Amino acid sequence: VPQQPRTGAWLVGARGSVATTTILGAAALRAGLAGPSGLVTELPDFAPAGLVPVDDLVFGGHDPSPSSLLKRAENLVAGGVVPAQLVASLHDELVTVDREVRPGIAAGPAGRPDRAVIDELAGDIGEFRDRHRLDRVVVVNVASTEAPVQERAEHRSWAELSRALDAGSRDLLPASSLYAVAAIEAGCAYADFTPSPGGRLPAVQQLAYERGLPYAGSDAKTGETLVKSVLAPMFAMRALRVRSWAGLNLLGGGDGATLADAEVAQSKLTSKSQALTAVLGGGVTAPMHIDYVPNLGDWKTAWDHISFEGFLGVPMTLQFTWQGCDSALAAPLVLDLVRLLARAHEIGKFGALEELSFFFKDPVGTDEHRLSAQWEALRRLAADFSEPAPVSEAG
Ligand SMILES: NC(=O)c1ccc[n+]([C@@H]2O[C@H](COP(=O)([O-])OP(=O)(O)OC[C@H]3O[C@@H](n4cnc5c(N)ncnc54)[C@H](O)[C@@H]3O)[C@@H](O)[C@H]2O)c1
């Protein structure tokens, strides 16, 4: 019987709510304590795609937080996200994974040359791979969102950026991009679940391409934007003219606290605005707000008010309210991305995986935001995975 390749999932932000729910969820599935609800890659379309079973994933990650996975899991229990019994049953698994978490690097000036930081981060991932004899590792950034950066023109190509790093530059790259470079230099597929600069910089994407590695991003689509990417195409297809689409988002939890900073929130607002503009054009008035409401914890509320007009200019309105549990929506998608990127890496697919646009608010490699078109692209990818193109013989 051929051995299943061994796959690691390295989460940047490993002690956050999304990461903890991901790790807990994978352990719960393995123990038969939870079902696959919310896990796209468990749908029948993906059965022949040769994806690594969730049960076989090995977890590790970076997080400068001195807290522990167990503590975060207990917070999730207190917030009503996961049952206490589940955390009690999986206590040992959480403690084991917590030993695989390294401090990494906090956001903000590191005070050390970027090159040294990258080598250290890549070293942590390499040691994890060796320790567990993994065939490949997928790195997913689920750390706190960072503010946008002004990209410097002279570092647009990897060759230029690399020269600056070798010359001892400090604080040239934000932490999320140091992690992305480290992941790629460690030979890993990479996904950016956040709207941080991370792997978006053209020089970093060029590095992934040159190293023959697949990457995907940015900013997972789990709530309001998911609904928008279904409804906006409906208005477009029915020739109903959307006049305005206002969105109010109320968020608690760590993500809400991070986004209370106006500069950081700009990263999120920019990626959230992509879908409407792409599907309906730029003529729609679309104000959007994110407010931090601590007592909501992991539950986010989005209220959208859409005014549109029909035949003879008759004005009409659609309103919707989405009340989702952030981490429960996000965690299965992290597992989906790890499985899909691991398979892409295995069969030699590389560069921007635009077929994963289904999962993102601001997808790399494509302007396609309509969920149904994104779903078809994902299904085609699954079919490619089932019958990968033969690799031509060297020489
Ligand atoms: N939950 C969702 O539906 C959803 C959807 C899209 C994007 N996201 C993004 O996922 C990310 C995580 O969300 P969350 O709710 O788990 O947030 P969280 O605040 O609970 O967790 C973030 C974790 O990142 C860690 N961290 C901060 N800076 C770090 C650094 N430099 N290196 C490594 N780790 C670092 C923190 O210590 C914390 O443990 C956020 O950026 C959020 O915007 C979440």
- Separation between Cα atoms, residue 61 and residue 377, nearest integer Å: 30
> 146 C-alpha to center of ligand 1: Å?
10
Nearest Cα residue to 22 out of 51, 52, 50, 61:
61
- Helix (H) / strand (E) containing 330: helix 326-346
Nearest to 189 by CA among 25, 378, 337, 21: 337
Q: Which residues pair with 113 in a beta bridge?
A: 170
* Cα 207-208-213 angle, rounded to 5 deg: 150
Among protein residues, the one with the nearest Cα to ligand 1's atom 17 is: 255
Residue 395 has what pLDDT? 36
Reading the chain (395 residues) residue by residue, the pLDDT tens digits are 557 789 999 999 999 999 999 999 999 999 999 999 999 999 999 999 999 999 999 999 999 999 999 999 999 999 899 999 999 999 999 999 999 999 999 988 888 999 999 999 999 999 999 999 999 999 999 999 998 887 776 678 999 999 999 999 999 999 999 999 999 999 999 999 999 989 989 999 999 999 999 999 999 999 999 999 999 999 999 999 999 999 999 998 878 888 888 888 887 788 777 888 889 988 899 999 989 999 998 899 999 999 999 999 999 999 999 999 999 999 999 999 999 999 999 999 999 999 999 999 999 999 999 999 999 999 999 999 998 666 554 43
CB atoms within 10 A of CB 127: 14
- Substitution site in 11, 15, 125, 142 for ligand 1 pocket (most atoms within 8 Å of beta carbon): 142
Residue with the smallest CA separation from ligand 1 atom 5 is 220
Mutational pocket test of ligand 1: of 12, 17, 18, 102, the residue with most ligand atoms within 8 Å of the beta carbon: 18
For 186, other C-beta atoms within 10 Å of its C-beta total 24
Sheet holding 58-62, edge to edge: 101-102, 58-62, 7-12, 136-141, 189-192, 214-216, 351-352
Q: Which residues line ligand 1 (CB under 6 A)?
A: 12-13, 15-18, 62-65, 104-107, 142-145, 175, 193-194, 219-220, 222, 253-255, 258, 326-327, 329-330
The CA 144 to ligand 1 mean position distance, Å, reads 3
Atom 12 of ligand 1, residue of closest alpha carbon: 142
Ligand 1, residue 65: give the atom nearest the CA. 37
Q: Please give the distance, rounded to the nearest whole angstrom, from the Cα atom of residue 244 to the centre of ligand 1.
A: 31
Q: What is the dihedral of CA 375, 266, 257, 178, to 10 degrees?
A: 80
Quote the CA–CA distance of 27 and 15 in Å, as a whole number.
Answer: 15
Q: Which of 165, 154, 259 is nearest to 202 (CA)?
A: 154
Alpha helices per DSSP H over 199-346:
202-210, 224-237, 253-259, 262-272, 274-280, 326-346
d(CA 256, CA 145): 10
Q: Coil, helix or strand for 287?
A: coil
pLDDT of residue 2: 59
Please answer whether residues 21 and 81 qualify as being in contact, where contact means their C-beta atoms are separated by less than 8 angstroms: yes
| Residue 12 contacts residue 143 (beta carbons within 8 Å) | yes
d(CA 268, CA 277): 15
Per-residue exposure over 23-39, b if at least 16 CB sit within 10 Å of its own CB, e if not: bbbbbbbbeeebeeebb
Q: How many CB atoms lie within 10 A of CB 384?
A: 16
Ligand 1 center to 137 CA (angstroms): 20
The pLDDT score that the predictor gives to residue 394 is: 43
Rounded distance from Cα 386 to ligand 1 centre (Å): 33
Report the phi/psi class of residue 13: left, alpha or beta, with left for phi > 0 and alpha for psi in -120 to 50: left
Q: Whose CA is nearest to atom 37 of ligand 1?
A: 65
Name the residue at shortest CA distance from atom 39 of ligand 1: 16
State how far the Cα of 195 lies from the Cα of 265, in Å rounded to an integer.
Answer: 9
